[in-house]
Structure 1
Amino acid sequence: MLAGLVTFEVQLMAKSKTELADQVLASKVFYFHQGSRREDSICTRIPYKHCTLEFALAPLRHSVEATVTVQLVDGSWPDGHQGQVFSCTDSIKDTKMLLLDCPDGTMPIGPDGMFELSRRVVCTELGGRDKLMVSVQARRVGFLTRNQAVFEPKMSGTSVGMCDLRFCKMQVTVAWSLLSTSGTHAGGK
């Protein structure tokens, strides 16, 4: 929740066995004010010797939290196919939130078919025309297939969709929870 001037301090560190030996790889401080227009966002790159840290922020006025799970329900993931799972919303144009990236072709899928996502929680705006899209794609030299499940944000409950990549089908489940403490949406669906 934004209240007045918000200070962001972003720091990427290499941890070692002792805290004194930890090394800062990239660091930056910047500010965002709640009075900023909705279109205002922060997107900054922080270069350092061996890496570049990218930080992006976009305010969502009435947001809900979406916890995403992906489960293989039919077929199997083909050996050697790179995979990605990502989400995006209508309200934040041209921005993908990477939930899983497997460039080596080894998808982390548990014995129950659940994808072991590296990130599971994203936010989206409640109300209006915003939609949450969760996409799964498989790639191999000369081959790319992608499908997405589209969800309308809710204050609570779950939504289920399917992604069909021809050789396998995944069930995408989103569990919704309200983030805002304002009474604006109290009593809504």
Structure 2
Amino acid sequence: MEVMDVGIGMERRKRPRKASGKAAEAEAAAAAAAEAARAAAEEEAAGWEEFEKRMANPPTAEELRASEESWEKFCSESWERFRDRWIDVWSHGMIPFDAVTQIPCMRFTDANLRHPDFRNILYPEDTLQIVSVQVKDLTGGLQWPLDVYGVVAVRDGVDRLRNVVFSRERDDCQSINEQGSYLTLTGPSRGVVMSHDNSHLEVMLKMKGTTEYEDKDLNKFVDSYRLGCFLPIEYTSKFCTVEMQYYTAFSSVEATIFVRVFKGRWPQGFRGVLTASTLKQRDVQISLLQLNDDELSVNADGFVKLSRRVICVEKDGKLGLSIFQQGDGGKEGRAIAGIWIEAEDAGKATHYMPVEALDCWMEVTVAWSLFRL
């Protein structure tokens, strides 16, 4: 019997070779990228489908209210969780949650930066520059004006303790109205250092009622911020929205400001505001003191009692101080005096700002300091 050799006269089929080494890695990476792109496309398509469903069937007022209550509960619970977590990690059984930072401003103002003990540990840092905190968009039957008390504070990686921005007790409320709903900030007490690790903003504000039993929790939440964040922090409760405006001052030094009348007399009846700014954010004015029609309140050394005195300035930038006179009839105020001061790494420097419109001069002393993490 003749046996046919099927291998003769026929082209043998070759098996495909498997990629190896770098080629295999590239092939696997391409496959993973293709799979990720496919998953992203499916997720986007699902998102659009869900969006179209919501547009076709908008939520009812009851559903919106339920969603708001759920969000408010989450914010409140997140505050409680943050407190419990902070106590577990940072308290060490000794430090209370509401402990305030004991690290002062001007910490290294008098440091000899040429000395080896300081040369390699003190640096400019990226800092959180808090501009304002506003209560707005009242809901839940609340009406202006409001008497507000409570705490707004930040915690950074320097010591993880509260660096107080606003603090009022119930018997020392701030009255705010719709035209003036910004809180009068008294901090931070030192520069707020930013890093890639999360730092936190705490807000716990209450509205004073006729009796303490009738007080209401206006807003209570904790939010994180980190290096590179620029958007305002904003939270809405069932009663109001709290918004914090801020920006990042990159590679900055700390400036502590002292002001007093050097020549002439401060006029009674003047209304305006003393502000600070930086050259790189010159359009952002940070209120240091509201100037009302009464006399300036001064310390024993003659320096004006500012509401805030700590500002962080880019190392290669300038600190600006301005006096704005309040406009008539709600019109925007106009600057009547101003000065720009070069940033320094350490030391104190005194400058003089003429206020010709008020027939006086202001003495401005700035204490500069680097940071140590």
Same fold, TM-score > 0.5, yes or no: yes
AA aligned opposite 1:59: T
Aligned mates of 2:240, 2:295 — CA distance in 1: 25
More helix per residue? 2
Change (3 A) 1:177 1:45: same
Q: Does 1:158 align with 2:345?
A: no
3-state secondary structure, aligned to 2:306: coil
Name which of 145, 168, 183 aligns with 2:360.
168
AA aligned opposite 1:9: L
Equivalent residues in 2 for 1:30-109, closer than 5 Å: 30-34=223-227, 36=228, 40-46=229-235, 53-102=242-291, 104-109=292-297
AA aligned opposite 1:133: G
AA aligned opposite 1:134: L
Larger radius of gyration: 2
Aligned mates of 2:276, 2:237 — CA distance in 1: 28
Q: Do the aligned residues in 2 keep the contact of 1:83 with 1:136 (CA within 8 Å)?
A: yes
List alignment gaps of at least 5 residues for structure 1: 182-189
Change (3 A) 1:12 1:86: farther
3-state secondary structure, aligned to 1:164: strand
Q: How far 1:145 moved relative to its partner?
A: 5.5
Q: Does 1:149 align with 2:343?
A: no
Aligned mates of 1:105, 1:47 — CA distance in 2: 35
Q: Do the aligned residues in 2 keep the contact of 1:69 with 1:172 (CA within 8 Å)?
A: yes
Structure with more relative contact order (C-alpha pairs < 8 Å, separation 6 or more): 1
**What is the TM-score normalised by the length of structure 2?**
0.40
Q: Does 1:137 align with 2:327?
A: no
Shifted more, 20-29 versus 50-59: the winner is 20-29
AA aligned opposite 1:105: D
AA aligned opposite 1:137: F
Q: How far 1:90 moved relative to its partner?
A: 1.9
Change (3 A) 1:140 1:55: closer
Change (3 A) 1:47 1:164: farther
Q: Does 1:25 align with 2:214?
A: no
Change (3 A) 1:47 1:98: farther
List alignment gaps of at least 5 residues for structure 2: 1-192
AA aligned opposite 1:73: F
Q: How far 1:5 moved relative to its partner?
A: 4.2
Deviations 1:124-166 (A, max 9, x none): 1112xx2110112344759955211211111101122222122
Change (3 A) 1:137 1:15: same
2:190 is aligned to none
More strand per residue? 1
Q: Do the aligned residues in 2 keep the contact of 1:12 with 1:53 (CA within 8 Å)?
A: no
Aligned mates of 2:297, 2:237 — CA distance in 1: 34
Q: Do the aligned residues in 2 keep the contact of 1:81 with 1:140 (CA within 8 Å)?
A: no
Change (3 A) 1:93 1:112: closer
1:187 is aligned to none
Aligned mates of 2:326, 2:297 — CA distance in 1: 17
Change (3 A) 1:93 1:76: closer
Deviations 1:47-96 (A, max 9, x none): 56776533123222322110001110111111111131110012235211
1:116 is aligned to 305
Change (3 A) 1:161 1:47: farther
Q: Do the aligned residues in 2 keep the contact of 1:149 with 1:172 (CA within 8 Å)?
A: no
Aligned mates of 1:94, 1:146 — CA distance in 2: 16
Identity %: 27
Change (3 A) 1:112 1:32: closer
CA RMSD of aligned residues (A): 3.2
Change (3 A) 1:5 1:124: same
**Which ranges of 4 or more aligned residues in structure 1 deviate by more than 6 Å?**
none
Q: Does 1:11 align with 2:198?
A: no
Aligned mates of 2:349, 2:238 — CA distance in 1: 44
Q: Do the aligned residues in 2 keep the contact of 1:135 with 1:163 (CA within 8 Å)?
A: no
Q: Do the aligned residues in 2 keep the contact of 1:73 with 1:113 (CA within 8 Å)?
A: no
Equivalent residues in 2 for 1:172-187, closer than 5 Å: 172-181=364-373
